[in-house]
Amino acid sequence: MDFSKLIARVQAILLTPKTEWPVIATEPETVANLYKKYILILAAIPAVAGFIKGSFIGTSLLGITVRTPIVSGIIGMLVSYGLTLVLVYVVALIIDALAPNFGGQKNQVQALKTAAYSYTAGWVASIAMIVPWIGWLIALAGSIYGIYLLYLGLSHTMRNPPDKSVVYTLVIVLIGFLLSLVIGAIVGGITAAGTMAAGAATFGAASSDVSIDKDSALGKLAAFGEQMEKQSKKLEAAKRSGDANAEAQAASQMLGAVLGGGDSVEALPPEAIKPFLPDRLGDFKRESISVERNGAMGVQVSTGHARYVDANGNRLDLEITDMGGAKGIMALAGFAGIEADRQTEYGYEKTYKQDGRLVHEQWDNATRSGEFGIVLGDRFAVKLSGNGEGLDANLLKSALAGLNLRDLEALKDKGVKRG
């Protein structure tokens, strides 16, 4: 297995899809080779990331961390991996079967290319599942970018007329989404996680004959793709220099710029986050505080956590995450228009946009616990969670509103080096 070729293909399909799809369409391939050289490797990423998240990191709320038992986690990982391999092939069969309906040409190998390379963005972005709270946003954004990749690819691989690509795409997305729901339900049942992991399928088509509204979600995705292409040219220049160190540095900077939406971003230093973790939140006194900044391969993330208690033993946990190194992906996640509202006899959970900010609320009357989170400037995730007999949802909201959110949001361009 030539991993250098694999990495080069992943880089090309993510950064220069407009020029890579025509190359992919003309390559002689077989189903076996596509699985052996590409799908078997990349499809393992979401399964492994899910296992690490579920069985080692766990899901934390109100100071309690829940982890899937190792054995159940391994079984779930293997089942998830196997079903993903099947899903790619089934989606390819669907793409192939539908091709004549949209003026395309049936070809199972070309259809498998379309499915596999379009799923690349979602598979790679699934690594972010290990990031607390907002990791799912980045994973979702990867799937959304995959939609753009498939949009660009269909006309090259399946040779359908551009004016029929949008409907073709929508049908593929709907079917793929439903299949993903089934996989999520099966894996969730095995691991007893209690949630369904629904990954968005990818779709596509491309031609200069198709005009795209630059203010639409697709238009913004296209602009994102153009920024990625610019970063790729910098890497190619480093390669031509013959300097291995320069190439490695350029690759690192490229990854950081890709996640940053075309910009290189340095996350806030710990001392810049500390002021937003105040000594007191109303009647609650700060009991502990921790702030750190970590980075790898050109991507930096800073996190801060503080715990507060009042005289009656009620507790609040405040978390601030600077996803500076992934602000571009965070912005893409916002294109999805995520909204949800679920009510039960015990409480509620809802996600919505307010003044351009993504907001998430959750409250459980039975346990007197909940959380209130908000994403500022497509960069900072702020979450306040708590539990105690003296708490309610309104208290959480007012406590979070009492923070200096405006000044934090004003730092959204801090450390940003325009691409």
Alpha helices in 192-326 (DSSP H): 217-241, 244-259, 270-273
**393 shares a domain with 275:** yes
Which of 175, 193, 211 delimits the end of a domain? 211
Give the per-residue pLDDT at 114. Answer: 93
Residue (of 259, 348, 334) closest to 298 by Cα position: 259
Distance between CA atoms of 161 and 155, rounded to whole angstroms? 7
Minimal CA–CA distance to 51: which of 191, 181, 177? 191
Domain end (from 211, 237, 252)? 211
Q: Which residues on adjacent β-strands are paired with residue 290?
A: 305
Quick one: tokens of 94?
């669907």
Indicate the number of domains in the chain.
2
Task: Looking at the structure, tell me whether residues 68 and 202 fall in a common domain.
Answer: yes
141 falls within a domain: yes
| pLDDT value, residue 402 | 85
- The reply to whether 406 falls in a domain is yes
pLDDT in tens, 155-205: 999 999 888 877 787 778 777 776 666 555 555 554 444 333 333 333 333
Do the domain assignments include residue 229? no
- Same domain flag for 128 and 200: yes
Give me the residues of the chain with pLDDT under 70, please.
Answer: 1-2, 55-67, 69-72, 130-135, 137, 178-239, 242-264, 295-299, 324-339, 418-419
pLDDT value, residue 291: 92
Confirm whether 228 is domain-assigned.
no
Tell me what percent of the chain is helix, strand and coil, each rounded to the nearest 5: 55, 20, 25
Residues near 390 by Cβ (< 8 Å), separated by ≥ 6?
Answer: 310, 312, 314
Count other C-beta atoms under 10 Å from residue 354's C-beta: 8
E strands, 213-356, are 264-265, 280-281, 284-296, 299-309, 315-322, 340-343, 347-354
Pair 277, 201 in one domain: no
Shared domain check, 296 and 197: no
State the residue range of the domain holding 174.
3-211
pLDDT in tens, 264-286: 678 899 999 999 999 999 899 99
Helices (H), 99-160: 108-125, 135-157
C-alpha–C-alpha distance, residues 308 and 359, integer Å: 22
Report yes or no on whether pTM surpasses 0.85: no
Q: Which of 190, 211, 232 is the last residue of a domain?
A: 211
Structural domain contains residue 223: no
C-alpha distance from residue 308 to each of 129, 316, 359 (Å) = 27, 5, 22
265 occurs within a structural domain: no
